[in-house]
Amino acid sequence: MPVPRSRVSGRSRVVAAAALPATLALLLALPGAASAAPHPADPPADVPTRGSAHMGMGVIAHDGQGPLPRDGRAAQTEGVDVSSHQGNVDWPALWNSGVKWAYVKATEGNYYKNTSFTQQYNGSYNVGMIRGTYHFGTPNDSSGANQANYFVDNGGGWSPDGRTLPGVLDIEWNPYGATCYGKTASQMVDWIRDFANTYRARTGRDAVIYTATSWWKTCTGNYAGFGTTNPLWIARYDTTVGELPAGWGFQTIWQYTSTGPIVGDHNRFNGALDRVQALANG
């Protein structure tokens, strides 16, 4: 006797459902079947390449971009900061536009040296600028002392030639991961102090500290202890410098835009050219 059609189809559905997990397991076992799934250790797709960090790369995302400040060059001196992000720089054009000083990225962490360093550092000097170098700190990679030594050994030194500015510690948002590099406020302060003390021991100069007030508050607890020794370079893209981190009554340098002429990052030294020279001379 023929089996009723409804019973056949019902049984088929049960068998198919029972076979589904085994079929899926077989598919997942095939080479490349799970290649689209991200590995838990893989960084997000938008994380930049290690070594590519530069001054202020997190300012707009965290603090925003306001209008440019009013012209203030009578009392302040225009400068720029550059890294491998800019490649070969047109230093004569910058000089002719009124830029009189420059900071060049030398190192990052304990693993990266600026690939455009020679053209940028020597080129700025050759057109007549007072120039210096900066280090992008990554406190999760190694100690402050280790990175200060790496910096000094790879372009971050100082010489009393009247044309060389003291080195800068660029300490700001982590472009590769956790904002504060996985450190508590007290641990961050200790790391910065370790860097600053080592840099002074190696060069005889106090390092300039580059940061943004919002980051400093978040990651150091607004620590005030560096204001009496280390000049402040503040990042704020607006008409005024705004609130400064605790301990500093004024800024030495203000990075006011990332969209300036010829190279993006433009700054104002808080004083006339003779004050830039005074900082170079120590």
Q: Domains in the chain, start-ordered, CATH in brackets?
A: 59-281 (3.20.20.80)
Distance CA 80, CA 260 (A): 9
CA pair distance 267, 85, nearest whole angstrom: 17
Is residue 81 among the annotated active site residues?
yes
Q: Which residues contact 31 (CB under 8 A, 6 or more apart)?
A: none
Candidates 78, 170, 206, 265; catalytic one:
170
DSSP state of 28: H
Rounded Cα gap, residues 273 and 248, in angstroms: 22
Its sign, for the CA torsion 271, 282, 165, 186, is: negative
- Residue 41 has a pLDDT of 38
pLDDT the model gives residue 263 = 95
- Cβ-contact 256, 263 below 8 angstroms: no
Which residues neighbour 71 within 8 Å (Cβ) at sequence distance 6 or greater? Answer: none
Of residues 81, 108, 206, 265, which has the active-site annotation? 81
Determine contact, residues 210/167, Cβ cutoff 8 Å.
Answer: no
pLDDT digits (tens, 9 = 90+) for 209-237: 999 999 999 999 999 999 999 999 999 99
Residue 170 annotated among the catalytic residues of the structure: yes
Q: What is the pLDDT along the chain (282 residues), one digit of tens a residue?
A: 444 444 444 444 433 444 444 444 443 444 443 333 333 333 455 777 887 577 665 665 665 555 567 665 457 999 999 999 899 999 999 999 999 999 999 999 999 999 999 999 999 999 999 999 999 999 999 999 999 999 999 999 999 999 999 999 999 999 999 999 999 999 999 999 999 999 999 999 999 999 999 999 999 999 999 999 999 999 999 999 999 999 999 999 999 999 999 998 999 999 999 999 999 998
The catalytic residue among 78, 172, 206, 265 is: 172
Query: What one-letter code names the amino acid at 43?
Result: P
Q: What is the pLDDT of residue 47?
A: 78
